[in-house]
Amino acid sequence: MSWLFFGLGNAIFKTLEDLTLKKASFEEDPIFLLFVLHTINVVLLIIPLFLFGIPSFNSKFIFAVFINSIIYLATGIMYVKAIKISEISLIAPILSFVPLFLLITSPLILGEFPNPISLIGVILIVAGTYIINMNSKKDFMDPLTSIFRHKGTRLVLFVTILWSFAANFDKMAIVNSNPFFYLVIVNLLQTIYLLPIIILSKKKISNKTNIKWILLAGLFGTLMILSAMYAIQLTLVAYVVSVKRLSIILTVIVGSLLFKEHDLKKRSLGSVIMVIGAILIGLNS
């Protein structure tokens, strides 16, 4: 069960990354934050690459890397902006929509079709979303339509749609090369894309006290990636992804307490239901 150790570590590091990113985002520009985070990832991830060496790769790998470097750049900017403007306990549960959208994108890109049990997971994700946004003073459909009215949740919902495409290209890249090589290259490309913007706009840290939070976010992000890679080598990907969903519950609870956010009980209950739905989809797809 050593995979479970790395799987739980993956969930914890994801929570820590989001919390430190939220702390740093209060005063910092999302694009600058993303540039620093990717730079840290490249520096730290290149160490295991040196240990394993540069693997062979083909045209499918190059195609997947190019597509995902653009997708992750766009979603990264949107995700950091959403964390900056919204309560983290409100937007974290929306990440449960990724496996839901995978039910649509995986058959289109990889030809992988879901198990009927996954439909129960879809129902649970919708039910959890309803509970999180429930308001007794509004009409019946308001908890679902409110996702589109709030800018932060709207951004993260769009992020999850794009991530559902990216997850398929992740698999395509890793199958045709090496996980560490893929992670280094995709992070390096995003750093290169952002560099001209950083230079031309002369963006820099607005508050030096945020340096520690940015560095911690980068460190936790790298540890999250590494723990996932080690866990995947020891068990099925579906198990690792399912355990990682626990980070949503951790982020909602800790984020609510740390940043004094609202509706902890309601958001926690909705998050648990959504995570169960996401796990059902992940294990039965």
**pLDDT value at 253 more than 80:** yes
Number of domains into which the chain is organized = 1
**pLDDT value at 158 more than 70:** yes
Better pLDDT: 133 or 264 = 264
Position 265 scores a pLDDT of: 85
Per-residue pLDDT band for 19 (boundaries 50, 70, 90) equals very high
Better pLDDT: 123 or 68 = 68
3 state DSSP class of 15: helix
Per-residue pLDDT band for 1 (boundaries 50, 70, 90) equals low
Domain that holds residue 64: 2-284
C-alpha dist (Å) from residue 163 to 17, 78, 195 = 18, 12, 23
Position 218 scores a pLDDT of: 92
**pLDDT value at 263 more than 90:** no
d(CA 277, CA 17): 24
In Å, how far from its chain's centre is CA 1?
25
Own/partner pairs, 152-156, CB within 8 angstroms, 24+ separation: 152/82, 152/83, 152/85, 152/86, 152/87, 152/90, 152/91, 153/82, 153/86, 153/90, 153/91, 153/94, 155/78, 155/79, 155/81, 155/82, 156/78, 156/79, 156/82, 156/86, 156/91, 156/94, 156/95
Q: Which two tokens stand for residue 66?
A: 């190019």
Q: What is the mean pLDDT of the chain?
A: 84
pLDDT tens-digit readout, 46-96: 887 888 788 899 999 999 999 999 999 999 999 999 998 988 888 888 888
pLDDT tens-digit readout, 203-251: 777 677 788 899 999 999 989 988 887 787 777 666 777 777 788 888 8
**pLDDT value at 285 more than 80:** no
**pLDDT value at 175 more than 80:** yes
**pLDDT value at 267 more than 90:** no
